[in-house]
Amino acid sequence: MGIELRLKKKLQGFCLDAELSDSSRRIGILGSSGAGKSMTLKMIAGIERPDEGRIVLNDRVLFDSEMRTDIKPQKRNTGYLFQNYALFPTMNVVDNIGAGLKGKNREENRERVLNIIDKFKLKGLEKRLPSELSGGQQQRVALARILVYEPEAILLDEPFSALDSHLRDHMQEELFSMLDDYPGTVIMVSHSRDEIYRFSESLIIMDRGHIENHGETKHIFEAPGTRTAAILTGCKNISDIRITDSHTLEALDWGVTLRVKKPVPEETVCIGYRAHQFEPLWGEKEENCLRFDLLSSHELLFERKYYIKGKKTISWFAERSLWPLIEKKGNPSFLKIREEDILYLKE
Amino acid sequence: MDSFVGIMSSLDWSPLWISLKTGIVATILCFFLGIFAARAVMNMRSPLKAVVDGFLTMPLVLPPTVAGFFLLFLFSQRRPLGIFLWDTYGIKVVQSFLGCVIAATVIAFPLMYRNARAAFELIDINLIYAGRTLGMSENKIFFKVVIPTAGPGLISGTILTFARALGEYGATSMLAGNIPGKTATISQRIALVMQDQDYVTGGIWVLIVIIIAFAAIVLMNLAAGKTQKNVKRWG
């Protein structure tokens, strides 16, 4: 089980160069747009060809530039869920789902299509064209079309980016539960950290064609390791540092000196701190505190965003549960940085 | 009035049948050749694609007499290919109905080819990728996905091809000549009678051409509207 990749391909403006091997069932690829995520999926599916490298899926070599192996996409047995679903516009729901089935046993094929229509709650829509379906229904048809074909791996290319935000949460739930009893590998590409966090067991962070970090999803969110990975996992505050000694460092962009109990890892060039994790303090200054010099604030439905003056603006997001305290005591005097929440980052 | 009735009853209708036969045969040929060529060009890489496309589009931008020159150069009874066809198969292109068809096909071909290609270019490439990842063969993708999706574009290409083939004059007159009852098409007949300032006969043929061309376009538009659920309507 699992996937093994070694990919090199020249793209516009940068070179995709990635190597990894992963055996988890649910793999997420996170990166900003144009990082080479979709290209990676397309190369696995055989739609795009790497300049050189090797692709192995469940011990089957799909591509190997040295061995001159390049299995056609038709024979790779991967299911690709396109961003726009790519349903065939002139075929109705039944024909779309059955399009990839080989005509050995027509009765049996029909049976399989009808079964999956039932399972995916598409009954009554059999004769509709894709243009007559809602976005959610289209996605179900696209997924049904993939699953009826029993692929060895499913590749999801930004599956929720085309949906309205109020639909997205519901569709994520629906898609993930439909994939629950799918035994093969699923790889999902996304630029949304929430989606990725919810879905994937292991996580690959990509930036400009190379792999920034790769490992267990929860672990990477806790310790992103690099500046780019920290930004992509949603860390709002990042500061360059100067290490004074192994227990003291100066956060240059925030104008504060931090003292820590555990030694600062070598090679650390900057630190990150998530906007939700500051602890507000009123009155006396403590160790590892930022002065609360408010630039501006905005109230959202469930949190307030405060922007604090520093060499680089610092963000603090106060959750609703903190609001009564702030109403009572006024704006805090300081924000405390907790040692256990500091992210030590390399370049 | 009497003279009009007299002219109608004594009118030689053969140009109508020759034009219609030429138009229909040439359109059928162009339909398949144009789609085939468009598919082949879609599979080419960029520099080659530009060159081949330019070559296939040439008859559209050159004067038909230039096409006539090349066709004569190939098929003349005094040229190697013409001699070969006549000696081996007894096929005569010059001064024959076959000449009418070949001239009309060459001139009208770019319209079919360009329309088919434009329709193919508009197809979301992900549809083809999806077909491939679903295990559909390239031919199955082409006939089941590409052709139906490109339907409206192919139909309008066919209409234009038919209209162009029906009215072809320049290359036809050079290759097939203007032999009454054999190669004299409506366009050639109009040109001929107008040399004698015969406005009545010329006018009748002009009217006939207008009616055929207009009817063909309307009929095909209606057919397109019926089969394609996704014909767009603004307003």
Its ipTM equals 0.84
B1 confidence band (pLDDT: 50, 70, 90): low
Residue B127, chain A, CB below 8 Å: the answer is yes
Arithmetic mean of pLDDT, B188-216 = 90
| Among chain A residues, CA nearest to B230 | A131
Same domain, A23 and A62: yes
For chain A, the helix, strand and coil percentages under 3-state DSSP, each to the nearest 5: 25, 35, 40
pLDDT tens readout for residues B20-66? 999 999 999 999 999 999 999 999 988 999 999 999 999 989 999 99
For domain B2-227, the CATH class is mainly alpha
For A48, the closest chain B residue by CA position comes to B129
Q: What is the pLDDT along chain A (347 residues), one digit of tens a residue?
A: 789 999 999 988 889 998 999 999 999 999 888 888 899 999 999 999 999 999 999 889 999 989 999 999 999 999 999 988 999 999 999 999 988 887 777 888 888 888 889 888 888 898 999 999 988 889 889 999 999 888 999 999 988 887 777 778 888 888 888 888 888 899 999 888 888 898 899 999 998 888 888 999 999 998 888 998 999 888 999 999 998 888 999 888 998 889 999 998 888 899 999 999 999 998 888 888 888 889 999 988 888 999 999 888 999 999 988 889 888 988 999 999 998 999 999 88
Q: Is residue A230 part of a domain?
A: no
The confidence band for B130, taking pLDDT boundaries of 50, 70 and 90, is: very high
The whole-number pLDDT of residue A187 equals 94
Does the beta carbon of B154 lie under 8 angstroms from any beta carbon of chain A? no
Residues A140 and A269 in one domain: no
Is A317 among the domain residues? yes
**pLDDT at residue number A13:** 83
Contact A346, A299 (CB under 8 A): no
Distance from CA of B224 to the nearest CA of A (A): 13
pLDDT at B92: 85
Q: What is d(CA B145, CA B120) in angstroms, rounded to the nearest whole number?
A: 11
**Domain total for chain A?**
2
Among A223, A256, A286, give the residue marking a domain's end.
Answer: A223
A126 and A249 co-located in one domain? no
Looking at the fold, whether A299 and A194 belong to one and the same domain comes out as no
Q: In terms of domains, do A266 and A138 share one?
A: no
Percent of chain B with pLDDT over 70: 94
In percent, the amount of chain A with pLDDT more than 90 equals: 43
User: Which residue among B127, B132, B230 places its CB closest to the CB of A88?
Assistant: B127
Of A234, A221, A214, A226, nearest in space to A265 by CA:
A226
pLDDT bin (cut points 50, 70, 90) of residue B231 is low
Residue B2 has pLDDT above 70, yes or no: no
| Cβ-contact B110, B26 below 8 angstroms | no
In a domain, A271, yes or no: yes
Cross-chain CB nearest to A99 (options B124, B134, B230): B134
Query: pLDDT tens-digit profile of B137-188?
Result: 999 999 999 999 998 889 889 988 998 998 899 899 898 888 888 888 999 9
Q: What range does the domain containing A250 cover?
A: 237-345
Which residues in chain B are closer than 8 Å to A79, comparing Cβ atoms? 133-134
Predicted confidence (pLDDT) at residue B229 exceeds the cutoff of 70? no
d(CA B106, CA B189): 21
Looking at A192, A223, A254, the residue that finishes a domain is A223
Does one domain contain both A282 and A212?
A: no
Domain presence at residue A281 = yes
Domain co-membership, A151 together with A60? yes
CB A262 within 8 A of CB A255: no
Please report the pLDDT score of residue A194 as a whole number: 86
Q: Where are the domains of chain B?
A: 2-227
Q: What is the pTM of this model?
A: 0.83
- Domain match, A290 and A336 both: yes
Same domain, A33 and A126: yes
Lowest-confidence pick of A88-97, B15-24, B84-93 = B84-93
What local confidence, expressed as pLDDT, does residue B138 receive? 92
Secondary structure string (H, E, C) spanning A182-246: CCCEEEEEECCHHHHHHHCCEEEEEECCEEEEEEEHHHHHHCCCEHHHHHHCCCCEEEEEEEEEC
Whichever domain contains A169, its CATH number is 3.40.50.300
Take residue A334 and report the two structure tokens written for it.
Answer: 């300081």
A135 & A165 share domain = yes
Q: Do A145 and B145 touch (CB under 8 A)?
A: no
What distance, in Å, lies between the first and last C-alpha atoms of chain B? 46
Cα nearest neighbour of A77 on chain B:
B133
Is residue A172 domain-resident? Answer: yes
Residue of B nearest to A74 (CA): B135
A245 and A97 in a common domain: no
Distance separating alpha carbons of residues B125 and B12, to the nearest angstrom? 52
Q: Last residue of a domain, which of A223, A246, A269?
A: A223
Q: How far is B128 from chain A (nearest CA, A)?
A: 9
A218 with A247, same domain: the answer is no
Judged by a CB distance cut-off of 8 A, whether residue B230 touches chain A is yes
pLDDT band at B227 (very low <50, low <70, confident <90, very high): low
Structure tokens at B157: 């290409």
In-domain check, residue A203: yes
By residue count, chain B amounts to: 235
